[in-house]
Structure 1
Amino acid sequence: MSARARRWPLVLLLGGTLLLSGCGLFGGDEEEDPPAELLKFKPSLQLRKAWSARVGDGSEHLRLGLSPATDGTLVYAAAHDGRVAAFEAGSGKRRWAAKTRLPLSGGPATDGELVVAGSSNGEVIALRAADGKRRWVGRVSSEVLAAPAIGGGLVLVRGVDGKLTALRQDDGSEAWFVQQSVPRLSVRGTGAPVIAGNVVLAGFDNGKVAAYEMSDGTLLWETLLTPPRGRTEVDRLVDINATIRVVGEDVYVVGYHGSVALLALESGQVLWARELSSYNEFALDFLNIYVSTETSEVVALSRRNGREAWRIATLLNRDVSGPAAWKNSVVVGDFEGYLHWFNAANGELQARMRAGSKRIALAPLVVGELLVAQSEDGKLYAFSERGKR
């Protein structure tokens, strides 16, 4: 895969079936900056691979939204070949495995009772968390590239066609749906819906963040994070592909070719915004918001005012994943299967571990003392500090 294809996400041309990599969009013959070489350093954090396990077959280059979920005791994961499995978080022992025979592409999500994932064909399947037995199969109108959200008797699903659909949690039937406009060209991927009390929030490809009443989908507010600008359709991409984060009355959001911003949950009012472009997930801790940019810089900004705390450029063009906030570290994966630990206080590189040889596409999952990452070859890898179980 070329450096350009590693750097840029896939883009979907609506109205057709064409999936284009970044190299096709940006000229093809121009020489691009290569991915940064990994520098030697002295680790200050001692880590161990606690366990690894195979979920199913790989999904390399497809840019799917498959990422593990947890209820605190078990880790649930899905693969594109339709397999879903549950593993004991502490040992990695497989508790159950299910063959759905669906081309799974988003999720799973769990509430401890159900495990729910979406497919490339728009199926949404719910399994029992206890044993993996099928509860129901529902349907939405397009591919699902993010985990659903479960709560309030509903399963909320975001499709690539701009729809947010509410399925009834007991049988998968449709309760309501809403839809936002979708530009002709958009970055492949979507963020997951987020439930905050009686409100569900989602970001959309048109650059809007919207809040809806859980009971019936009534629009409460919508905010345009960054207006499209530029001469070409590529320049005007403003997708919000990162899952929104809600802490109390604060809503954090990151957009492509846009901003990282803090909104008010009650009204959608922008409280602060800083220019930054990302199509990855982001992470929060008590002080900061951590973002990996479109060029694979890792940036920390103050949650209070958006002021930049530090920025690391040692992983440029390595197609890093979204970050995870783990203990006192910020962790990202890259296209060669490496995980990189940075000090959350100052960005200093603390450790590096290789999970496998395939890309870690999405942000790792924190499960107590463990950090769990899924690679594009359908495997899970769990890491812990040495001496910690």
Structure 2
Amino acid sequence: MSKSLFFVVLLSAVLVQGCSNARPDLPSLPSIDSKVNLKTSWRTGVDGGFGETSERFNLVAENDALFLVTNKGTLYELGQEKGKRRDSFETTYEASSGVTRHEDTLYFGTYDAQLVAVSLASKSVLWEKTLSSEILSEVSYAAGKLAVQTSDGWLSVLDATTGETQWRAKEDLPSLTVRGTSAPVIAEGKVIAGFANGKLNAYSLQDGASLWSYELGKPEGRYEIERLSDVDGRLVVQNNVVYAVAYNGTLAALSIESGRPLWQRSIGSAVGVAVEGELLMAVDMKSHVVALNAKNGTEIWENTDLADRDLITPTFFRDYVAVMDRGGYVHLLDLTTGEVAEHRMADNDVPPGSRMVASDKQLFILTPNANVTALSY
């Protein structure tokens, strides 16, 4: 195959991201010596699925409830213990991203560039705000404000009660990007956001003043496909440290105060990392699962048994880290050794529909055939 043809094929693969029918067959599952019995606790049907890709939607687990929105714009509150529906509200919007919750209000974005605030208790839309472009990740809430990123490179901060814009900032986009945006994070009076040009920026929450900027993903290479540097994975802030990863090969820990890198590794990823205590979990572009020391970035272990299975963002779940592949299998990896201890189909041979969320002894997933599933062991 000529080099030019190779890049045409590779570009096509990127542009159809999220369409499982266009992807090659998954490798066979590795044989394992099962250490736990991962089982389905409950499964509840909902009105709608997840949308384009598995990382776009989320489930919010708070108190003893789950909150979510489907791609049909229907909002739900489910009980965590048995999955029973406590409340729901069908809106007229086509949701493009998951929810953020503050008290009684749920916020979500649409493909028509609308940010919507809904009261589930009163079954009413409190306000809607039309932004500059589609919203492809959930918003962040803190101190009465919302931070939201749109696919055209704008970051906006709004009043959470009224939807009025407080300030905006923009980064220029490269000619070719991975479809999606990072979800901004509000912490320590700052808004942290990653952009498709590889930059990670910090702004003052109050007035939008630029505080620092770090070039996490550096565009390199002759072809546009080689120069993809998007920061699309979910950012994590813990103990005044920002953990972020870029598509083309850099995982870094930065001081939230100064943006100074504390350490960085040559690991590229299109999904986010998970951090718990001194342990950081990442999934690279080959679906190798890597465990690092969160303080200094040293490698603890690497698991290659699930290579090329298109894993999504890892999630800590009890004594294991859970990862889910495009085929719909959830895999539990030992935190100490990285060994696969168990794998189980999430829901009837379908790909994942959301990022997983763990709460107490259950792991929750929204699947595209309109189900919310709880797994436990």
In structure 2, runs of 5+ residues without a counterpart are 1-9
Q: Give the distance between the partners of 1:234 and 1:223, measured in 2 at CA.
A: 22
Q: What is the deviation of 1:40?
A: 2.8
For 1:220, the equivalent position in structure 2 comes to: 211
Please give the secondary structure, in 1, of the residue aligned with 2:266. Answer: strand
State how far apart, in whole Å, the 1-side matches of 2:13 and 2:91 are.
Answer: 26
Q: Tell me, in whole angstroms, the C-alpha distance in 1 between the residues paired with 2:151 and 2:281.
A: 25
What is the deviation of 1:156? 1.1
2:242 — aligned with what? 251
Q: In the alignment, which of 296, 302, 325 is matched to residue 293 of structure 2?
A: 302
Are 1:207 and 2:207 an aligned pair?
no
SS at 1:258 equivalent: coil
1:100 aligned partner = 91
Letter in 2 for 1:21: V
Give the CA deviation at 1:259. Answer: 0.8
CA apart distance, 1:258: 2.2
User: In structure 1, what residue type is equivalent to 2:352?
Assistant: I
Aligned to 2:364: 372
Q: Determine the C-alpha separation between the residues in 2 that align with 1:290 and 1:123.
A: 33
Residue 315 (str. 1) matches residue 306 (str. 2): yes
Write the deviation string for residues 277-296 of structure 1: whole angstroms up to 9, x where unpaired. 10112111112211111221
Which stretch has the larger CA shift, 354-363 or 277-286?
354-363
Residues 277-323 of structure 1 deviation map (CA, whole Å, 9 limit, x = unaligned): 10112111112211111221111111121111111112222111110
Q: Tell me the SS of whatever aligns to 1:104.
A: coil
1:154-201 Cα distance to aligned partner (Å, 9 max, x none) = 111111111111121112122211111111110111121111121111
RMSD after superposition: 2.3
Of 309-318 and 198-207, more deviation after overlay is shown by 309-318
Counterpart AA for 1:91: K
Q: Residue 290 of structure 1: SS of its match in structure 2?
A: strand
Q: Assess if the C-alpha contact under 8 Å between 1:253 and 1:261 holds in 2.
A: yes
1:238 Cα deviation (Å)?
0.5
> d(CA) in 2 for partners of 1:279 and 1:9?
16
CA change 1:44–1:330 in 2 (3 A) is same
333-342 or 366-375, larger mean C-alpha shift: 366-375
User: In the TM superposition, what is the alpha-carbon distance from 1:129 to its structure 2 partner?
Assistant: 4.9
> How big is each residue's C-alpha offset from its partner over 1:202-237, in whole Å with a ceiling of 9 and x where there is no partner?
111111111111112111111111321011111001
Whether contact under 8 Å (1:44, 1:351) holds in the other structure is yes
Q: Secondary structure at the match of 1:304?
A: coil
Contact 1:320 1:361 survives alignment (8 Å): no
SS in 2 for 1:192: coil
Deviation at 1:86, TM superposition (A): 1.0
Distance 2:97 2:251 in 1: 24
Q: Which residue of 2 aligns with 1:56?
A: 47
Ranges in structure 1 where 5+ consecutive residues have no aligned partner = 1-6, 12-19
Contact 1:55 1:84 in 2 (8 A): no
Normalising by the residue count of structure 2, what TM-score does the alignment of the two structures yield? 0.91
**Offset of residue 113 of structure 1:** 3.0
Structure 1 residue aligned with 2:6: none
Aligned residues between the structures: 366
- C-alpha change, 1:361 and 1:235, in structure 2 (3 Å) is farther
Out of 160, 185, 205, the residue aligned to residue 151 of structure 2 is 160
Deviation at 1:39, TM superposition (A): 2.4
Q: Distance in 2 between matches of 1:108 and 1:9?
A: 30
Partner in structure 1 of residue 4 of structure 2: none
